[in-house]
Amino acid sequence: MKIELDVHTHTIASGHAFSTLQEMAQAAAGKGLKVLGITEHSPGIPGTCHPIYFRNLHVVPRRMYGLELLLGAEINILDGQGNLDLDEDYMKMLDIRIAGIHSLCYKHGTIDENTHGMVQAIRNPFIHIISHPGDGTAALHFEPMVVAAKEHHTLLEINNSSLKPPVTSPMPVRTISPFSVCARNMKCRSSWEVTRIFRLI
């Protein structure tokens, strides 16, 4: 499979990744990607950048090393209402916006509440992609998410975390199987290969 883009990546600005923006762009170009999305974590993740980082992204060229750069954020879904931790004024300035649940800043609810929050994020017109919904961080009903994602043209990501059994979540392994099986069927082997986006048709 020829992979042409990766739009979920983090640099040192996110506090737990180890390459600069230019190093990432150079490496992506070396791997033959046409588009690289850099989506730093929003404020709820410890050690990530201040919102002013997002406000100043206009100074960064959108072409580097022969590829197109999309600069955005991976924004935290905070609760069962689908509240996000980056204001719309900042979101408007971004090329690409991912939303996801991260245990460091998520108020867990029931499976119905978690699903409702996820569906609200999927319906949010600012959000293009939902990150790693199958990683087991929160118990979720997948069917309403998939239906909402199809209706609102929001992408659902499958990545390496979706291939692992949940470590901290009480969610049984079988509930992540639809994502796991799909990723396995694609014979994904490395995180570079697996971090990819599916458009629902």
Binding site for Zn ion (CB under 5 A): 74, 100, 131
Minimum CB separation of residue 10 from Zn ion in Å reads: 6
| Measured distance CA(126)–CA(136) in Å, rounded | 24
Helix 142-152, helix 111-123: angle, nearest 10: 10
Pick 45 or 63: Cβ nearer Zn ion: 45
Single out the residue of 184, 176, 186, 185 nearest to residue 142, CA to CA.
Answer: 176
Residue with tokens 């790693």: 132
Minimum CB separation of residue 14 from Zn ion in Å reads: 8
Characterize the bridge pairing of strands 129-130 and 63-64.
unpaired
Rg of the Cα atoms in the chain: 16
Pick 42 or 131: Cβ nearer Zn ion: 131
Pick 66 or 104: Cβ nearer Zn ion: 104
Minimum CB separation of residue 45 from Zn ion in Å reads: 8
Count of Cβ atoms closer than 10 Å to residue 97 Cβ: 22
Q: Per the structure block, which two tokens stand in for 116?
A: 């409702």
Minimum CB separation of residue 181 from Zn ion in Å reads: 21
Pick 6 or 74: Cβ nearer Zn ion: 74
Task: Compute CA 123 distance to the chain's CA centroid, rounded to the nearest angstrom.
Answer: 15
Minimum CB separation of residue 21 from Zn ion in Å reads: 15
Q: Per the structure block, which two tokens stand in for 169?
A: 């979540």
Pick 7 or 139: Cβ nearer Zn ion: 7
